[in-house]
Amino acid sequence: MDSQALILKAEQTHCLTEDELLHLLQDDSADEAIFQAADRVRQKYVGNEVHLRALIEFTNICKNNCLYCGLRAQNPCVHRYRMSEDDIVALAQKAVQYGYKTVVLQGGEDPAFTTEKMVSVLQKIKPLGLAITLSLGERLYEDYQAFKAAGADRYLLRIETTDKALYEKYNPAMSFENRLRCLRDLKSLGYEVGTGILVGLPEQSLRSIAKDILFFKDLGADMIGLGPFIPNPQTPLKDAPQPVLEPALKVMALTRLLLPDVNIPATTAMETLAPNGRIKALQSGANVVMPNITEGEERQNYALYPGKAGALDTPLAFRDKLTAKLTEIGRPVSTGYGWHKIKH
C-alpha cells in the first residue's frame, strides 16, 4: 500500500500494523498529510476545546541517573530545590484562581516525598475541587493505591522507549519490567494513565517507534505525551545531534490516528524546538496544554533540557498569551475537567 492509502486506512479504522506504521514513519513526504489527517481525527473525536493542566514542578531532586536528563542525580550543576507542603498547596490554590481545573504535581524521584507526605499534600489539595495528576515516577503498588485513595485521579509515567535494551542503557539501575509493572498497577487502580516516549534518542530505530505506538494502544493509555529528545550539555548525551520538531510531531499525529479519543498534550519540548511548535502540535492532533505555574527560581531550575520554552514568563503572562493564541486559531479553552472518558 502507498502512504496515502495507509493514512486513509488509519483515519477510518484507527488500526495499522507495525510494518504499516514503519512505512509511514520512513516516508517524509507523507508528513503534511499525516498532520492534516490527525487534525481531522482530533476534531471528530475530542472536538475543538483545549484542556489546560496547571503544572507544578515541586522538586527537582532525583535519585535516578537517566542519561538524557538534566535533573539526573550525578549532575552537580543543578541548583536543587524541594518545595514545602505549604508551598505546593499555595500553588494549587493559585491554579484555582487562574481558572485551571487540573493540577499536575511533577517531580523527580525524590525520596523525601514519602507516601505519608504525598498523601498529606493530596488531602490538602483535593478539597479545592481540582482534578489531580501525579508525575513522580516509579513507586510501589501500595503507594499508588494510597495516592489514589487520597484523591489522585491521573498519573503520568512515560515508558520513554519500548526498546528494552535501549531503555536500560539510558536508565541505568532502572528496569524496563518495573516500569511496565508501574503502568499496569496504575491502570488496575483506576487511574487515567498517561505514558509516552522521547523521540530522537540516539540509536532509537523507527521500528521501535512503531512498536511504541502499538504499545500505547495495548496498554489502553488515556493520555500520551510525546517529546523530542533535546540534548542537555550537562549530561552524557550532550553530543547527540540537535533535534528538529517534525519527527516528534509525526509520532504524535500517528498516535492520534491510532488512539483517536485520548488526551494528547502539545509539549513544552515541542515549543522549545520551534517558535510556534505548540500551535503546530495543536493543529496536528494535540488537544491539551500544560501551562507551568511554578514560580521564581524554581521555574528556571527545573531544567530537564536547555532553552525550555516559557521559563522566563510569569504564570499569568503565559496564560494570557496562550489564551490569545488559542482564540486566534479557533480553539476555545475548555471549562471542564477534560477526562478521557466522561465520568458518571
How far apart (Å, rounded) are the C-alpha atoms in residues 201 and 193? Answer: 23
User: How many Cα atoms occupy the beta-carbon half-sphere of 137 within 13 Å?
Assistant: 20
What residues from 98 to 127 belong to the interface with ligand SF4 (CB under 6 A)? 108-109
- The residue within the footprint of ligand 5AD, chosen from 35, 58, 68, 147 (CB under 6 A), is 68
Cβ closest to ligand SF4, residue 62 vs residue 252: 62
Per-residue x/- track, 48-87, ligand SF4 (CB under 6 A): --------------x-x-x--x-xx---------------
Q: Which does 265 bind (CB under 5 to 8 A by kind): ligand 5AD, ligand SF4, none?
A: none
91 close to 130: Cβ distance less than 8 angstroms = no
Judged by CB under 6 A, does residue 331 bind ligand SF4? no
How far apart (Å, rounded) are the C-alpha atoms in residues 42 and 286? Answer: 7
Q: Which does 72 bind (CB under 5 to 8 A by kind): ligand SF4, ligand 5AD, none?
A: ligand SF4
- What are the residues facing 57 on neighbouring strands? 106
Per-residue x/- track, 263-282, ligand 5AD (CB under 6 A): ------x-------------
How far apart (Å, rounded) are the C-alpha atoms in residues 62 and 108? Answer: 4
What lies within 8 Å, CB to CB, of 262 at 6+ separation is 216, 221, 222, 223, 224, 255, 256, 340
Judged by CB under 6 A, does residue 55 bind ligand 5AD? no
Q: Which parts of this chain interact with ligand 5AD (CB under 6 A)?
A: 68-69, 158, 160, 198, 227, 229-230, 232, 269, 304-305
Q: Which parts of this chain interact with ligand SF4 (CB under 6 A)?
A: 62, 64, 66, 69, 71-72, 108-109, 137
